[in-house]
């Protein structure tokens, strides 16, 4: 057997490390942190898509309806030229850059460096679609937009509150940590809008009506405050805003919350007491909270709940569980339109000038750039003319994708850097073939802020190149300073210089470790990252969904993730083992609803919203009445609503829909 190489799993944000045999490309689990010998099916089959015959072979340029192969030299030269022409004619903000939560820290760092040196903050990544509401809420309350504690703390807590999050399906390996807590006697409380796989392990299963999370959280706080179960000393010494929170939660009695959420008042009281009296607890949440027009408020409510009990540091943690393997890293590297690296605001002149000087210029643009979700309007109205996309597939991943596809068609220049001819790449003027995760080196940051090194297993296939090499060539061709890197490690060393806790660390140390936490394992143990060191309790009211079911569209449509699939399916649908595991995707619906419409399990149905319609087979089973549950990996976003919350995330989780049985299929 050849020497096994350690790589970071290319899928979810849990960040398992894989051992890959370079000859057979077979995967086995790493025995060290964070996965300790465990992997889910996606990790086990992670190299299958790399070997797919569909990989892009060489750079392509649009020639009418055809794409013709060109050299790297010509591709980079022409792309740079066209970007500069757009800047000359319309200014730097007429170009936008879309970074990727799947490529390394170094690659995200380079793309945002290109964007900002080019003169625009139009740089964003798909964190906008998932946890940007968490980032905003965490910054407002505790001052830092990231998970507060490592996974290793979870088994030590006496309660785990899992809200709008289904780890058994989305981050299977984290379930091991949760179950270790359960075996120690911790109470597991799961809140969701349907019975999930995770609920099978719960002590308390709270199935709430869609969009009523705040009513439940506020009612739990109402009970905790009324029965004086909160941590008085913690509230007094480490927080501000308690009186406002007490006032705001007064009307959220358990009886009131029962009417809104559907959860019996007695259960709300019992769960509130159980969580409060546990003495320590984790709050874990997912997109069930964030992908609503009230996404920021939803997250604020569960953070308030944890703060009320002092569940921070040794006694608890806030766990916004990230979706993609480097979504946390992309954000920390500054691939967001409102933040410089490290989530530092663009208005922080001292830091901005420090970054500028490291990059060899006097200053950087200060105006917030466009959110990814604001791009489509900007393209439609002609403000944005050029888009450079690295490893993302907005033609499938964006809400109301028919509109997005229309916008992509309007661009003067669309460049797509990817592994495959994605749905987005079909609209491109230039396509640049990128190397897969195991064909290159670099660092990635998982959900717990652990930076891990991923080693090269094999050479890039065909004429593909690592993303960082492509971006280095582009930076040089654009005439930007500071793109003369001799290795990816030089990029790593450069971003280390922007983070005080990394300044003294070396790339070698990172390579030989189980990872380095940025900035440290636990946040806020003694003080919060706010100007006065105190956390803010921010009282919130229930926010109504943007679209309500009515006589025409009587169902609520929500979207979910499946264990064997990932995002827009470009990787997992090219993995034969995963395709076999999952079978055909179906829309889950309630038995009574199905009976009324004469639909049997396996029947073809048409699901329609105000944005479009799709066909799929029905799965009749455990869904609450009136709810349709659709996997988001395929064509669900033809239907979803692009109403945005305060952080720019669409309301993927709530659309008014109708459904009918199809005959003669
Ligand atoms: Fe990869 Fe996530 Fe599965 Fe681990 S749990 S193997 S990181 S997809």
Give the pLDDT means over successive 10-residue stretches in the chain (665 positions). Answer: 90 97 97 97 96 97 97 98 98 98 97 98 94 96 97 98 96 97 98 97 98 98 98 98 98 98 98 98 98 98 98 97 94 97 96 98 98 97 98 95 98 98 97 98 98 98 98 98 98 98 96 96 97 98 96 97 80 91 89 97 98 97 96 89 96 97 77
pLDDT of residue 258: 98
**H or E segment and range at residue 190:** strand 187-192
Distance 43 CA to ligand 1 centre (A): 5
Q: Is 241 in the pocket of ligand 1 (CB under 6 A)?
A: no
Q: Is 39 in the pocket of ligand 1 (CB under 6 A)?
A: yes
Rounded CA-CA distance 646/630 in Å is: 25
Q: Is 151 in the pocket of ligand 1 (CB under 6 A)?
A: no
Would you mind telling me the total number of residues written for the chain in this entry?
Answer: 665
**H or E segment and range at residue 560:** strand 555-560
Is residue 396 a contact partner of residue 105, using CB atoms and an 8 Å limit?
no
Sign of CA dihedral 289, 295, 301, 304: positive
Q: Is 449 in the pocket of ligand 1 (CB under 6 A)?
A: no
Distance 52 CA to ligand 1 centre (A): 20
356 burial level (CB within 10 Å; 0-12, 13-18, 19+): middle
Rounded CA-CA distance 466/562 in Å is: 29
Sign of CA dihedral 632, 633, 636, 641: positive
Distance 107 CA to ligand 1 centre (A): 21
SS3 sequence of 506-559:
CHHHHHCCCCEECCCCCCCCCCCCCCCCCEECCCCCCCCCCCCCCCCCCEEEEE
Distance 208 CA to ligand 1 centre (A): 28
Q: How far apart are the first and last CA of the chain?
A: 51
Pocket test of ligand 1: the residue of 9, 15, 45 to mutate, having most ligand atoms within 8 Å of its CB, is 9
Rounded CA-CA distance 281/271 in Å is: 13
Distance 507 CA to ligand 1 centre (A): 24
Is residue 452 a contact partner of residue 17, using CB atoms and an 8 Å limit?
yes
Nearest atom within ligand 1 for CA of residue 35: 4
Nearest atom within ligand 1 for CA of residue 29: 6
Is residue 282 a contact partner of residue 153, using CB atoms and an 8 Å limit?
yes
**H or E segment and range at residue 97:** strand 95-98
Nearest atom within ligand 1 for CA of residue 325: 7
Distance 8 CA to ligand 1 centre (A): 9
Nearest CA to ligand 1 atom 4: 16
Q: Is 17 in the pocket of ligand 1 (CB under 6 A)?
A: no
Characterize the bridge pairing of strands 27-29 and 17-20: antiparallel
Distance 40 CA to ligand 1 centre (A): 5
Nearest atom within ligand 1 for CA of residue 173: 5
Distance 241 CA to ligand 1 centre (A): 39
225-240 burial by CB neighbour count: b if 16+ within 10 A, else e? beeebbbeebbeebbe
Nearest atom within ligand 1 for CA of residue 12: 2
Nearest atom within ligand 1 for CA of residue 9: 1
Q: Is 11 in the pocket of ligand 1 (CB under 6 A)?
A: yes
Residues in contact with 487: Cβ distance below 8 Å, sequence separation at least 6, in sequence order: none
Distance 511 CA to ligand 1 centre (A): 20
Domains observed in the chain: 60-127+326-442+461-498 (3.40.50.740), 132-321 (3.40.228.10), 555-661 (2.40.40.20)
Nearest atom within ligand 1 for CA of residue 8: 7
Distance 66 CA to ligand 1 centre (A): 38
Can you tell me the ipTM of this complex?
1.00
Distance 203 CA to ligand 1 centre (A): 25
Q: Is 15 in the pocket of ligand 1 (CB under 6 A)?
A: yes
Distance 318 CA to ligand 1 centre (A): 20
Nearest atom within ligand 1 for CA of residue 172: 5
Characterize the bridge pairing of strands 339-340 and 344-345: antiparallel
Distance 19 CA to ligand 1 centre (A): 13
Distance 339 CA to ligand 1 centre (A): 28
Is residue 344 a contact partner of residue 351, using CB atoms and an 8 Å limit?
yes
Distance 429 CA to ligand 1 centre (A): 34
- For the chain, what is the radius of gyration of the CA atoms? 24
Nearest atom within ligand 1 for CA of residue 10: 1
Q: Is 171 in the pocket of ligand 1 (CB under 6 A)?
A: yes
Q: Is 173 in the pocket of ligand 1 (CB under 6 A)?
A: yes
β-sheet bridge partners, residue 463: none
> Tokens standing for 246?
């007490």
Nearest CA to ligand 1 atom 3: 40
- How many Å is the maximal CA-CA distance in the chain? 71
Pocket test of ligand 1: the residue of 14, 102, 450 to mutate, having most ligand atoms within 8 Å of its CB, is 14
Rounded CA-CA distance 285/292 in Å is: 13
With vertex at residue 161, the alpha carbon angle to CA 563 and CA 213, rounded to the nearest 5 degrees, is 90
Pocket test of ligand 1: the residue of 7, 10, 11, 31 to mutate, having most ligand atoms within 8 Å of its CB, is 11
Q: Is 168 in the pocket of ligand 1 (CB under 6 A)?
A: no
> Tokens standing for 463?
């004429």
Q: Is 43 in the pocket of ligand 1 (CB under 6 A)?
A: yes
The beta strands (E) that lie in 237-367 are given as 239-240, 281-285, 316-320, 339-340, 344-345
Nearest CA to ligand 1 atom 1: 43
Distance 530 CA to ligand 1 centre (A): 33
Distance 35 CA to ligand 1 centre (A): 9
Pocket test of ligand 1: the residue of 29, 30, 42, 44 to mutate, having most ligand atoms within 8 Å of its CB, is 42
Distance 159 CA to ligand 1 centre (A): 24
Nearest CA to ligand 1 atom 6: 43
Q: Is the pTM of this model over 0.80?
A: yes
Rounded CA-CA distance 390/124 in Å is: 11
Q: Is 14 in the pocket of ligand 1 (CB under 6 A)?
A: yes
Residues in contact with 248: Cβ distance below 8 Å, sequence separation at least 6, in sequence order: 218, 539, 540, 541
β-sheet bridge partners, residue 559: 630
Rounded CA-CA distance 240/592 in Å is: 48
């Amino acid at each position: 057997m050849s020497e096994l190489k350690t790589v970071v799993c290319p899928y979810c944000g849990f960040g398992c490390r894989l051992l890959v045999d370079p000859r057979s490309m077979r995967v086995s689990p790493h025995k060290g942190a964070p996965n300790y010998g465990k992997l889910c099916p996606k990790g086990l089959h992670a190299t299958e898509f790399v070997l797919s015959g569909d990989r892009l072979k060489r750079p392509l340029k649009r020639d009418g309806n055809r794409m013709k192969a060109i050299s790297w030299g010509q591709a980079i030269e022409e792309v740079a030229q066209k970007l500069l022409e757009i800047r000359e004619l319309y200014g730097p903000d007429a170009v936008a850059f879309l970074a990727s939560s799947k490529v390394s820290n170094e690659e995200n760092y380079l793309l945002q460096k290109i964007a900002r040196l080019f003169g625009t903050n139009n740089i964003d990544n798909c964190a906008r679609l998932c946890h940007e509401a968490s980032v905003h809420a965490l910054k407002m309350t505790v001052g830092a937009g990231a998970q507060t504690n490592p996974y290793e703390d979870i088994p030590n807590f006496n309660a785990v509150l899992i809200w709008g999050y289904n780890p058994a399906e989305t981050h299977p390996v984290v379930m091991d940590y949760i179950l270790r807590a359960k075996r120690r006697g911790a109470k597991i409380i799961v809140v969701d809008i349907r019975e999930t796989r995770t609920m099978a392990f719960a002590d308390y299963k709270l199935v709430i009506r869609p969009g009523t999370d705040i009513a439940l959280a506020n009612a739990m706080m109402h009970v905790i405050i009324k029965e004086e179960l909160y941590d008085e000393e913690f509230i007094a010494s480490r927080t501000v805003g308690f009186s406002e929170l007490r006032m705001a939660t007064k009307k959220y009695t358990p009886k009131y919350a029962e009417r809104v959420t559907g959860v019996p008042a007695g259960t709300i009281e019992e769960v509130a007491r159980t969580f409060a009296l546990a003495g320590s607890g984790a709050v874990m949440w997912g997109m069930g909270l964030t992908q609503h027009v009230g996404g920021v408020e939803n997250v604020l409510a569960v953070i308030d709940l944890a703060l009320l009990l002092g569940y921070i540091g040794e006694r608890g943690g806030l766990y916004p569980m990230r979706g993609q393997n480097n979504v946390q890293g992309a954000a920390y590297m500054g691939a967001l339109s409102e933040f410089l690296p490290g989530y530092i605001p663009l208005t922080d002149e001292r830091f901005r000038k420090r970054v500028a000087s490291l990059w060899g210029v006097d200053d950087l643009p200060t105006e917030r750039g466009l959110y990814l979700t604001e791009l489509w309007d900007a393209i439609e109205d002609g403000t944005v003319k050029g888009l450079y996309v690295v490893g993302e597939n907005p033609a499938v991943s964006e809400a109301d994708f028919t509109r997005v596809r229309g916008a992509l068609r309007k661009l003067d220049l669309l460049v797509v850097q990817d592994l495959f001819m994605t749905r987005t790449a079909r609209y491109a003027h230039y396509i640049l073939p990128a190397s897969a995760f195991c064909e290159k080196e670099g660092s990635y940051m998982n959900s717990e802020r652990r930076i891990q090194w991923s080693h090269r297993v094999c050479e890039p296939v065909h004429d593909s190149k690592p993303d960082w090499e492509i971006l280095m060539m582009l930076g040089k061709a654009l005439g930007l300073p500071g793109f003369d890197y001799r290795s990816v490690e030089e990029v790593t060393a450069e971003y280390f210089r922007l983070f005080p806790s990394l300044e003294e660390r070396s790339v070698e140390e990172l390579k030989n470790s189980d990872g380095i936490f940025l900035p440290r394992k636990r946040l806020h143990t003694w003080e919060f990252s706010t100007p006065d060191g105190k956390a803010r309790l921010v009282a919130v009211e229930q926010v109504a969904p943007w679209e309500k079911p009515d006589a025409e569209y009587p169902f609520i449509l929500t979207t979910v993730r499946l264990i064997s699939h990932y995002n827009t399916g470009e990787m997992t649908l090219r993995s034969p083992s995963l395709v076999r595991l999952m079978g055909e995707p179906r829309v889950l619906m309630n038995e009574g609803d199905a009976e009324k419409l004469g639909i049997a399990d396996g029947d073809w149905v048409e699901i329609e919203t105000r944005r479009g319609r799709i066909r799929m087979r029905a799965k009749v089973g455990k869904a609450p009445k009136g709810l349709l549950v659709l996997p988001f990996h395929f064509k669900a976003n033809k239907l979803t609503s692009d109403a945005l919350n305060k952080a720019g995330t669409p309301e993927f989780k709530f659309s008014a829909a109708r459904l009918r049985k199809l005959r003669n299929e």
